[in-house]
Structure 1
Amino acid sequence: MNDALNSLVAPLGRLAEVELLTGGQFATTYRVTLADGERVVVKTAPVGTDGLLTYEHDLLRAEALVYGLAAELPALLMPRVLLTDFSRSLLPSDALVVSHLPGVPLVDAGFGPASSDPRTARAERGTGAVLAALHAIEGSAFGYPCGRQEATWAESFTGMVDELLEDAARWSVPVPVDEVRSALARHAHVLGDVPRSALVHTDLWAGNVFVDPGTGAVVGVIDPERAFWGDPLADLVGVDPMGREPGTPALLAGYGPLDVDSPSARTRLDLYRMRLCLVMMIEITPRRFEGDWVEPHRAAVTANLHEALAALA
């Protein structure tokens, strides 16, 4: 692997050191130190595609696209794309090389609750500000940057959920199909309340937000490979996938004016929770997750899905 990585980063310099980074469940990520001391991050997609959900094909290409859009917007605090290799000639899968960010992931910063640690509140406000800047980027359609797109959000979101139900059937994952379809049919009209497509990160939890551990200031944002063009409210579910509230007060203060309390907004938030829970339930099987955490995780996701469905019923 080092020989392939050396060839990949050769246009940037000679490879001196490689460190495999853990924590992700999709891509394989390396921190690479070059001979001149510069550090870069290399991400490679899974080699086999048989364990991918339908929407997960070409995710690194989507990530590169989002980083390209962010390059002109410093407020997004995203890495710069240094190299891409989608030829699959140097490595057996897509590869993306980006700049190395400062700081540490918020999940590892050791901050206390926002009520007792001002660094946490600052990090949450900063996350809200990043989301607001991201959502100012408008698309010409709704859907995945490198996948299926539609003219309306209702068509796009319904298609996203349909694909997930097909994935569940493919891997024989038991999900409440009838309840999901009923919720979609009952509430499709509220999806029409989204007139413009915004760029939605979808996965901006505390592991993908980098902060200054001394101050709590947000210094970087990573992993937008699951982004889509859609409703900004979906990002409030991605920030806290297992929560029931649409963001913390500090995050919403950092974001600025945003309707999270109207009947339409509350219903859409539950629809997005439903979708994300389906993703988390289904991916366990094809990815063959292992460890003591898997069954408690499955149980928590299942409970959260049924809470969302109950609210939608």
Structure 2
Amino acid sequence: MDLIGAGLEPLAGGHSGETFLAEVAGERTVVRIYAGRGATRGPEAPEVDAAVLALVRGLVPVPEVLEVRRADPESGLPGLLVTSHLDGTRLDALLPDLDDDMAAVVGDRLGRVVARLAQMPMLRAGMFVDAELRCVPMPAEARDLPTWVSTHLEGTALAAWSAEDREQLMAVAERAQQLADSVRRTCLVHSDLNPKNVLVDPDTGAVTGLVDWEFAHAGSPFSDLGNLLRFDRRPTFAEAVEAAYRTHVVDAPADLLDQARAADLWALVDLAARAGSNPVADRAHDQLLAITRTGDLHAVATG
């Protein structure tokens, strides 16, 4: 692909600054250049992302891979992934204006998609490291929530918390870890399944795309549900998501939302620790503080 003549335009919605909309001969594509945050994942990152898209294509709505280029550390050439452009409106832009009926329709459709991901089994938990989707275990600190919390308490936004809040956060993490320890299977996890990465047909409510799979891994079947419902608690939407998930995931437990909130706590802690860097991290910080002070995984920040 001729990137010089492609007229690259930064794609709205992302924080990485590595994804662009391109147009050549009237055809729109999406170009991801692994030059910043993406480069930290290693030269195989474009191939991993392309392999994940190939794995799920036809099962959930994802773009078609058009070109993939491995990074060349010797020459300094960054990795590259070019995919088709999907139609649809980002859900974060659409959801606030939906009436209750359409919010329920979108919730149902999206709950079905999340359920489908939860039923894509993986042999073991871990991160994908190559085009064969070979999986290696998470770092030790990422497999135990109290340990994960302890690694985020110093040199981060959480360092300003009171000793009482930090102690209570550890207690919340220990209870959430007990929930996580009860999970007996592993599946494919998108791991950033929030409304800005979901495309929806505004007329029908159909989910037309799941994008930005850079954090995909093998993990808990409740992680994506927790991520999706982290901030978006509108009853007509959230209840439809949960109902569709329960209908289509045969082993959905009675404490499904508890499990989902516990599974999302890893990401919430990581985001909250970066408060001040972007609005999402700021919101996560306030949410985590509300959870900590109430001891309730379902708590939301007020004000």
Assess, with a 3 A threshold, how the Cα gap between structure 1 residues 18 and 212 changes in structure 2: closer, same or farther.
same
- Select 2:187's aligned residue among 198, 217, 224: 198
- 1:298 shift after superposition: 5.9
Once residues 203 and 276 of structure 1 are traced to their aligned partners in structure 2, the CA distance between those partners, rounded to angstroms, is 9
Once residues 284 and 202 of structure 2 are traced to their aligned partners in structure 1, the CA distance between those partners, rounded to angstroms, is 32
Q: Which residue of 2 aligns with 1:87?
A: 71
- Select 1:279's aligned residue among 267, 270, 274: 270
- 1:43 shift after superposition: 1.2
Q: Which residue of 2 aligns with 1:136?
A: 119
8 Å Cα contact 1:277/1:305 also seen in 2: no
Superposed CA offset, 1:169-220 (max 9, x none): 3557426654444444445443333222111222222211111222222111
Assess, with a 3 A threshold, how the Cα gap between structure 1 residues 311 and 14 changes in structure 2: closer, same or farther.
closer
- 1:262 shift after superposition: 3.0
- 1:250 shift after superposition: 1.8
Percent of residue pairs bearing the same amino acid type: 22
Assess, with a 3 A threshold, how the Cα gap between structure 1 residues 106 and 191 changes in structure 2: closer, same or farther.
closer
Indicate yes or no: 2:22 matched with 1:19. no
SS at the partner of 1:87?
Answer: coil
Assess, with a 3 A threshold, how the Cα gap between structure 1 residues 110 and 181 changes in structure 2: closer, same or farther.
closer
Assess, with a 3 A threshold, how the Cα gap between structure 1 residues 124 and 185 changes in structure 2: closer, same or farther.
closer
Counterparts of 1:96-107 in structure 2 under 5 Å? 96-107=81-92
Assess, with a 3 A threshold, how the Cα gap between structure 1 residues 110 and 95 changes in structure 2: closer, same or farther.
same
Counterparts of 1:193-232 in structure 2 under 5 Å? 193-232=182-221
8 Å Cα contact 1:86/1:94 also seen in 2: yes
- 1:143 shift after superposition: 2.3
Indicate yes or no: 2:56 matched with 1:70. yes
Assess, with a 3 A threshold, how the Cα gap between structure 1 residues 140 and 47 changes in structure 2: closer, same or farther.
same
Q: Which residue of 2 aligns with 1:169?
A: 154
Kindly provide the amino acid, as one letter, of the partner of residue 83 in structure 2: V
Once residues 209 and 223 of structure 2 are traced to their aligned partners in structure 1, the CA distance between those partners, rounded to angstroms, is 20
- Select 1:28's aligned residue among 18, 21, 35: 18
- 1:27 shift after superposition: 4.6
8 Å Cα contact 1:273/1:305 also seen in 2: no
Once residues 295 and 206 of structure 1 are traced to their aligned partners in structure 2, the CA distance between those partners, rounded to angstroms, is 15
- 1:24 shift after superposition: 0.7
- Bigger mean CA deviation after superposition, 241-250 or 188-197: 241-250
8 Å Cα contact 1:39/1:99 also seen in 2: yes
Assess, with a 3 A threshold, how the Cα gap between structure 1 residues 224 and 281 changes in structure 2: closer, same or farther.
same
Once residues 158 and 289 of structure 2 are traced to their aligned partners in structure 1, the CA distance between those partners, rounded to angstroms, is 15
8 Å Cα contact 1:270/1:309 also seen in 2: no
Indicate yes or no: 2:223 matched with 1:234. yes
Aligned length: 283
- 1:275 shift after superposition: 1.8
8 Å Cα contact 2:191/2:215 also seen in 1: yes
- Select 1:254's aligned residue among 244, 249, 252: 244
Superposed CA offset, 1:143-162 (max 9, x none): 22237526xxxx79634764
8 Å Cα contact 1:165/1:177 also seen in 2: no
Assess, with a 3 A threshold, how the Cα gap between structure 1 residues 245 and 257 changes in structure 2: closer, same or farther.
farther
8 Å Cα contact 1:202/1:239 also seen in 2: no
Report the RMSD for the aligned CA atoms in angstroms.
Answer: 3.7
Q: Which residue of 2 aligns with 1:45?
A: 34
SS at the partner of 1:26?
Answer: coil
